[in-house]
Structures are given as structure tokens and as C-alpha cells.
Structure 1
Amino acid sequence: MDSTVFWSTDDVLVIGIVPPPSRMEARAQLRQVVREALAQWLKLDSEAISVESTPGAPPRLLFPGGVAGLSFSHDEGISLAAIGLHGPVGIDVMRVQDIPDWFNLARDYLGPQVAEALSACPAGQRPLALAQAWTAREAALKCAGRQLAEWDEMSLNCNVQHIALQGGFVAMLATPKTDTGVGP
């Protein structure tokens, strides 16, 4: 299976695939690629690594001697996974597109400040700015172990970083802030 490493540190790895058309096949293929990547990263047998997925809880990678944080995101034409070797991680990807009801979407899910900032954007820049804000929020929610919900003012205490992609996609990676305020 062909995969691409988009970003890595000693603690976090972001990989992606061009998925098959079926969402079920894309999920299975991405999980296999994740197991193979972790096996190569830690010099383990991929058969010794499993993906634990429970509804309502973030997925995790189980391997001999440890557990790694895991996050998935899919959009038509790309599937991404982030592996957090030492804890939770969140990833989100979205195709940049014009969304007619962008203001209500932003207000309801990203908060009034983001909605107002998007209102101030030139119309030609708004789809990119919305995709960046949306993927940042969703990645932070995943990192915090929370599901997508309407806006609340709860701080998610995450560092969010842009992951460079081509083809009109935006992706963001979230990692927990440490006591120093810096990510892992």
C-alpha cells in the first residue's frame, strides 16, 4: 500500500493515503498502513500491533510495551492518520471549498469570534480561512477526546499546527500542551 509521510517528529507521525472509493475499505487500508508505519518506526512486527476503536472514545494503537494515541480523518481523495507515541493527538483534513452557509456554520461550531473574523476576510480568501479554522477546531477536539459539537467556550489546551498538503486540502494536527505550554 502506498502511503506518504507528511510530518514527523520523535513523538508524532502523520501519514496519508489516497483511499479506495469505499469508506469502509479506506478505513481498513488506513489502519493497515498505520500498523505498518508504527512497526517500522519502532522496529516491531506489524502483527503485534492493533488498533483499538471504541465508539465515543479516541482510537488507540496497542503494541508490545505501550499504547500510542491515534487520530484519523478522511475527505474525498485523501485519508490521514496521526500517531502520538506519548499521548493523544488529533488530525483533521478538509478540501477547501465555498460553503454557502459558512457564517451560520462558523458561528454554531467555531464560535462568534471566528465567525466575525471570517466575515472580515475578503470573499476570495474565506474558503481557505474557513477550512483552516474548521480543521484546527476539529483536530483540537479529537486531541482532547471530545466529539464534534456546537460551540462552547471550553479551552482545549492544544497546540495546533498546519500540515502542508497539495490538491486543495487543508490539514491541521493537534497535540496537547505540556506544563511549559509547548507541545510534546
Structure 2
Amino acid sequence: MRRYLAHDTAPLQLWWTDLDTMPPPPGAEATLSADERARAARFVREVHRRRFTAAHVALRELLAQHTGRAAAELQFTGGPFGKPALRGQPTCAFNMSHSDELAVYAVAAHGDIGVDVERLREMPDTDMLARHNFTPAEQDQLGRAPASARALTFLYGWTRKEACLKAIGCGLQVDPYTFEVGLGPDRRDVSVVSPDGPVMVEVESFCDGDRAVVSWARVKPALPEPTHSA
């Protein structure tokens, strides 16, 4: 029920689901934990409850495929800033994001990864948002984008920064204004100063037709300290 987003050279797998047209089968919500069901029940609007349930059922089904465990048996834990992880499954890293009816999932055998998706839409407030979240060079790049591509250009930068921060797992402890990701789809290494020190993050983006922008990020392993012979 999910389509693989083909990125053959990416160090992770990306999947997406349409939460409105690909709903979970009847009874699938029974695989959710009591906490997940309680979170779904707190939504005021039925459409938001339904999408939350569908997104988390799909996540459990996907992770069950990767771990060989039953979807209902999977247990989640949170990092210091709330980033979810699978309890007792060190060889399965994941992250998820949703925008309206679209949900995107990233899965890898190991490492710290992040993913972000945003629906393409009219955005009259890009300049204001950029002033608070983009570096001066990125603001200049956005300002030079033609009006027809302004929203797409902005969302490349926005989702790339979100994916990087989610990969690091530091929440809002890092100001997105302080690191540069570029406003295009290219894969690049980004230097970010996290609460634990500087890290290098690999990030890449793509546009899913005229529907959404997706960015993934992965914290690159630290290089070993050089050894010095006497």
C-alpha cells in the first residue's frame, strides 16, 4: 500500500502513503499502542484522527517488515528531545513526516536519519519565514528565484533544514538560521553545530511531481581521530 520512492544511491529507503486514499484495513488500528490511540482521540476533527491513525498503522506495518516482528509488538521510545526510536531494535532506524494527506517514511539499517515532506502550495509569506530561518545567502537565493518557482525554492530549503534537525534529534535546540543547506534538490554535506558539538549531515531533496517536496538527511559517521606515531 506504499510506493517506494526510488533513490538507488541513498543510504536509506523512502516510502510514502496517501492517508486518504490508502486507509488501513478494518481493525488495523488494534496494532496501535494505548498511547497512540489516546493521541488520536485528542484530535478535534475526524479527518485528523483518521490520518493520524492511518499514518501510525502504516509505520508499524513498514517497521514490522524490516524487523520481522509483529506490528502490534513494536515498542517505541523517545530521545532526549522526543525523537522516536524502536526499543530493542538497534539495527532499524526510522523517521516519518506528514503534510495533509501525505505521509513519508525513511528507514535505514542504522544511523541517525530524518525526513520531511511539505505539500506544494501557494505561500505568500516565504520572505518573512526566510528571514527567521534561512542564512543570508539562502535568503538571497530565494529572492532571485522567479515568482513561479518561489514556493518550490523555499520548500526545498525548509524541508532540508527540518530533515537535518530531525536526523540530529535535537528539536529546536539548533536555530535553522545557523546552518546552510541550499535551496535545491542536490545532495550535499551540511555542517551543523548541535548541542553535543559539530556534526556533518548528508541531505538530499526531490519534488514528487507537482504534489510535494521531500527531503531526507543522515548524520554522517564521525571520522576516526588520526593516530600519530612516535
Q: Secondary structure at the match of 1:17?
A: strand
**Contact 1:90–1:173 (CA<8 Å) still a contact in 2?**
yes
Amino acid paired to 1:56: F
CA-based RMSD: 2.7
Amino acid paired to 2:72: E
Q: Secondary structure at the match of 2:160?
A: helix
1:26 paired to 2:51: yes
TM-score, L = length of structure 2: 0.66
Q: Distance in 2 between matches of 1:30 and 1:8?
A: 22
- Runs of 4+ with >6 A deviation: none
1:137 paired to 2:161: yes
Unpaired runs of 5+ in structure 2?
21-45, 180-190, 193-199, 224-230
Aligned pairs for 1:1-184 (under 5 A) are: 2-7=1-6, 12-20=12-20, 22-53=47-78, 56-63=81-88, 65-66=89-90, 68-148=92-172, 150-153=175-178, 155-156=191-192, 157-163=200-206, 165-179=208-222
Unpaired runs of 5+ in structure 1?
none
Check 1:34–1:163 CA distance in 2 against 1; reply closer, same or farther (3 A cut): farther
Check 1:61–1:67 CA distance in 2 against 1; reply closer, same or farther (3 A cut): farther
Q: Distance in 2 between matches of 1:124 and 1:164?
A: 15
Deviations 1:85-113 (A, max 9, x none): 31221111112223212112112012222
Check 1:164–1:101 CA distance in 2 against 1; reply closer, same or farther (3 A cut): closer
Following superposition, the deviation at residue 67 of structure 1 comes to 5.7
Q: Distance in 1 between matches of 2:166 and 2:157?
A: 14
Q: Distance in 2 between matches of 1:59 and 1:7?
A: 25
Q: Distance in 2 between matches of 1:142 and 1:3?
A: 22
Following superposition, the deviation at residue 53 of structure 1 comes to 4.4
Q: Distance in 1 between matches of 2:7 and 2:86?
A: 17
TM-score, L = length of structure 1: 0.81
Q: Distance in 1 between matches of 2:14 and 2:76?
A: 16
Q: Distance in 1 between matches of 2:103 and 2:126?
A: 24
Greater C-alpha radius of gyration: 2
- The number of residues matched between the two structures is 178
Whose helix fraction is larger, Structure 1's or Structure 2's?
A: 2
Identity of aligned residues (%): 23
